């Protein structure tokens, strides 16, 4: 609840504190900054200057907001508690949180939920500490598979702007070396879980070197994620498996606009009960592409993915444009690496105006026998997850020479196969110049615009 005493008195006190902290910060030696991020006064993006302390104070006055201006600790200590205190205390409702410092060290987990009408202006880098054993002991469950996180963030009416420099840095290299290419290790945390986030906008943020997944959006709706930069790369022999750019789970009306993702796994993945998802005007490099699923991993549980719109996309050196993956109808092992036996539907998917280069596998791929515990490719015709109403329009590009099919669609006979799949102005050439025309199909019905001439099997 809002306190009823004079907001002007509160604001004067906050302003005085802000000026004192600003003077203190300016008196300190300049911290070494990473990634070319300079002083806040010199930062700008897309022609828009990042706001100064004076401008932030004016905004707080104009909008009658509580102001929380946070500078990094001068001793290199943990800045997480100060950020958490602002977001859960004074600035939780109708607050303006300002992070103008260069590097904020995050050494403890954060839970900042239930925010209401909050503006966050983040100009600096949040840098998570590399203490793997500590983070494994405190990571918090997300509620899907064995996924966990080190920051749970949620609220209504949030506007979080990074102005092109605000960064979440997971210090991921230590995690990639520790994982040694092993997937879905327990308690390995994603960077942030946007949970119960509604009617909100996040923009111009950078996410680099995530510990695992970059983020998951769970139990959320009506969220715009715009002008985002995601990069997780390894400088060692170990890969960046599980560094998904974003996963949506139990969420509706999530809009991804102008994303740039370079990683080692799904650029964006729609998990169970993701509906009305828009992905547009984006560039995805080096990962797997856009994933629908996986679905049907949990025995007896129904998953729905419906209303995906993917348009105006460029993909470079990815495995696919779009791939749909479900588990078989046989339950083998337990999540996260085993499972199966769930039901559901993937439907109403439209992919249009896409260009790709150097794609490593078939641009379009589906299969219904996912498993990570030694049973992949088994019982493919037992899945009860239905795939239908997928439409590909104006999609073209190049694939590596080893690729032979534009699409490979393996559909489960137990679910009645795949229905109503269409391709309009879809083409692919190998880097060597060979035109691809083949589509491999299993149990595909009602295909329009392409022939299943790659060995249609009715099983």
Per the structure block, which two tokens stand in for 161? 């702007």
Please name the residues in contact with 12: beta carbons below 8 A apart, sequence gap of 6 or more: none
Cα separation, 255 vs 113, whole angstroms:
21
Task: Count the helix, strand and coil residues of the chain and give each as a percent rounded to the nearest 5.
Answer: 15, 45, 40
Distance separating alpha carbons of residues 25 and 12, to the nearest angstrom? 20
Alpha-carbon gap, residue 37 to 275, rounded angstroms: 37
Closest CA to 79 of 190, 168, 16: 168
Tokens at 277, concatenated: 């998802």
Q: Which of 79, 265, 266, 303 is catalytic?
A: 265
Query: How far is it, in rounded angstroms, from Cα 211 to Cα 240?
Result: 9
Q: Which residue has the tokens 């109708």?
A: 94
Instruction: Check: CB of residue 365 under 8 Å from CB of residue 404.
Output: no
Distance CA 286, CA 315 (A): 8
Burial (0-12, 13-18, 19+ Cβ within 10 Å), 224: middle
Q: Report the relative pairing of strands 215-218 and 192-203 from DSSP bridges.
A: parallel
- Which one, of 105, 152, 107, 167, lies nearest residue 131 by Cα? 107
78 is catalytic: no
Question: Are the C-beta atoms of residues 235 and 175 closer than 8 Å to each other?
Answer: no
Asked if residue 307 lies in contact with residue 348, where contact means CB atoms within 8 angstroms, the answer is yes
Residues involved in catalysis:
265
């Amino acid at each position: 609840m809002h306190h009823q005493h004079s907001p002007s008195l509160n604001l004067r006190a906050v302003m005085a504190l802000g000026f004192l902290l600003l003077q203190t910060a300016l008196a300190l030696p300049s911290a070494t900054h990473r990634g070319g991020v300079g002083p806040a006064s010199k930062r700008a993006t897309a022609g828009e200057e990042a706001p100064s302390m004076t401008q932030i104070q004016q905004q707080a006055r104009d909008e009658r907001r509580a102001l929380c201006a946070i500078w990094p600790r001068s001793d290199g200590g943990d800045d997480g508690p100060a950020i958490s205190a602002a977001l859960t205390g004074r600035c939780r409702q109708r607050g303006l949180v300002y992070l103008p410092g260069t590097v904020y060290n995050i050494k403890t987990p954060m839970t900042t939920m239930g925010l209401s009408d909050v503006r966050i202006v983040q100009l600096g880098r949040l840098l998570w500490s590399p203490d793997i054993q500590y983070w494994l002991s405190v990571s918090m469950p997300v509620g899907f598979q064995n996924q966990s996180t080190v920051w749970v963030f949620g609220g209504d009416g949030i506007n979080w702007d990074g102005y092109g420099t605000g960064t979440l840095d997971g210090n991921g290299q230590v995690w990639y070396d520790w994982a040694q290419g092993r997937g879905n290790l327990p308690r390995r945390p994603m960077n942030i879980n946007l949970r119960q986030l509604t009617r909100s906008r996040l923009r111009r943020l950078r996410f680099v070197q995530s510990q695992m997944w970059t983020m998951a959006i769970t139990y959320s709706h009506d969220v715009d994620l715009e002008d985002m930069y995601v990069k997780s790369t390894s400088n060692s022999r170990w890969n960046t498996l599980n560094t998904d750019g974003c996963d949506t789970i139990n969420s509706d009306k999530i809009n991804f606009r102008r994303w740039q993702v370079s990683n080692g796994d799904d650029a964006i993945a729609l998990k169970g009960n993701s509906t009305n998802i828009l992905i547009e005007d984006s560039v995805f490099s080096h990962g797997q592409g856009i994933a629908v699923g996986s679905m049907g991993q949990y025995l007896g549980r129904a998953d729905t993915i419906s209303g995906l719109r993917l348009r105006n996309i460029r993909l470079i050196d990815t495995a696919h444009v779009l791939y749909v993956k479900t588990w078989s109808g046989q339950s083998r092992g337990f999540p996260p690496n085993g499972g199966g036996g769930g039901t559901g539907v993937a439907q109403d998917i439209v992919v249009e105006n896409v260009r790709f280069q150097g794609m490593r596998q078939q641009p379009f791929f589906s299969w219904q026998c996912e498993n990570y515990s030694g049973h992949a490719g088994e019982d493919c015709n037992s899945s009860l997850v239905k795939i239908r109403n997928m439409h590909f329009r104006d999609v073209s590009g190049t694939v590596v020479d080893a690729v032979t099919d534009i699409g490979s669609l393996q559909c489960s006979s137990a679910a009645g196969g795949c229905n109503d799949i269409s391709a309009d102005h879809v083409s692919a050439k190998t880097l060597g110049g060979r035109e691809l025309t083949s589509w491999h199909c299993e149990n595909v019905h009602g295909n329009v615009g392409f022939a299943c001439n790659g060995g249609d099997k009715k099983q």
